[in-house]
Structure formats: C-alpha cells, structure tokens
Amino acid sequence: MRSIWKWIGLASVAGVVAGGVLVVRDQRKRRAYTADEIRARLHQRLADSNGEGFQSESGSGAVSTANKR
C-alpha cells in the first residue's frame, strides 16, 4: 500500500513541475513583445472589431426589442 502512495506522490510532483514549465513558457512568450507592439496589436484588434457588428455610441439610437420580454 505504501508503494501506491509513493507513485501517487511522484505523479503529483511531476504534474506540478509540468504545470510550472507551461507557466514559464507562457510568461516568456508574453514578455517577448514590446509595449509598442502590444499597443499596435490592441489598436488593430479594436479596428477589426468595430466593423463586425458593434454599434458606435453615435449610432442611430434605435433599440432592439428582440430580447425584451
């Protein structure tokens, strides 16, 4: 019975190590961008999203009644 707990403990330690590796890899990938690159990407995403169904505040003011009950 002790052998089972040893294997479970070893597997949990391996899982924690693997999770840590994934976190570090993600942080390195995120740090690879400069502030200007992030800002440019955010502006590009905003420009892309404005043309895809979002209504601007200066729109016609019409209110949709499709979801009102």
pLDDT for the residue numbered 20: 95
Q: In which residue are the tokens 């019409």 written?
A: 62
pLDDT for the residue numbered 2: 80
Query: Is residue 56 very low, low, confident or very high in pLDDT (cuts 50, 70, 90)?
Result: low
Higher pLDDT, 61 or 29: 29
pLDDT for the residue numbered 57: 55
Q: Is the Cβ–Cβ distance between 50 and 56 less than 8 Å?
A: yes
The alpha carbon of residue 47 and the mean position of all alpha carbons in its chain are separated, in whole angstroms, by 19
Structure tokens at 37: 């690159």
Cα gap 29→52, rounded to integer Å: 29
**Domain chopping of the chain, boundaries:** 2-48
- The model's pLDDT over 7-52, given as tens digits with 9 standing for 90+, comes to 999 999 999 999 999 999 998 888 888 889 989 999 999 999 986 6
pLDDT for the residue numbered 17: 95
Structure tokens at 54: 């979002």
